[in-house]
Amino acid sequence: MPHENGALFFYAILMNTKKLLSLVAILGIAAAVHSQGNVKFGAKAGLNVATFSGTFLSGTTVTPKVGIHAGLFAEIPFGKSKFSFVPELLVSRQGIDQEMNQVTLDGSIIVSERETQDLKLTYLNVPMMFRYYVIKNWG
């Protein structure tokens, strides 16, 4: 019954993640109420370079891809302290170009040719960070 154990493991991780996200959301709402309207909203965008690591077939070449990430954020200060809570919602485009040897059997002849694959992944990231200002109102 390995599938049942694996399913239980992932179910436990999912439940813990939901509890953590709920706690962070409650803290964020409490901070927003306490901040008395000083919440700042914004947008951000940038470039990223992504690649994969691991074991590939012999003769495989992996080239990193340049992608974009973009999204929205809010900065919710904790009263008059130097701390603030910064939840974000980002879309990130990542991937690789992969070139490998493709070996096929055509009748009694072995044919080897290079095959290129373009792997594109789109992620939805939800970072929830805390910011501390070393010098008040700097940044």
The per-residue pLDDT for range 91-110, each reduced to its tens digit, is 999 888 878 776 676 666 66
Q: Note the pTM of the prediction, 2 decimals.
A: 0.59
Which of 38-52, 55-69, 86-100, 114-128 is the least confident region?
A: 55-69
Query: What would the pLDDT profile of 56-74 be if each residue is shown by its tens digit?
Result: 666 678 888 889 989 999 9
3-state secondary structure of 137: coil
Element (H, E) at 32: helix 2-34
Q: Which residue has the tokens 């200002």?
A: 133
> Which pair of structure tokens corresponds to residue 99?
């070139």
What number of helices (H) and strands (E) belong to the chain? 1, 5
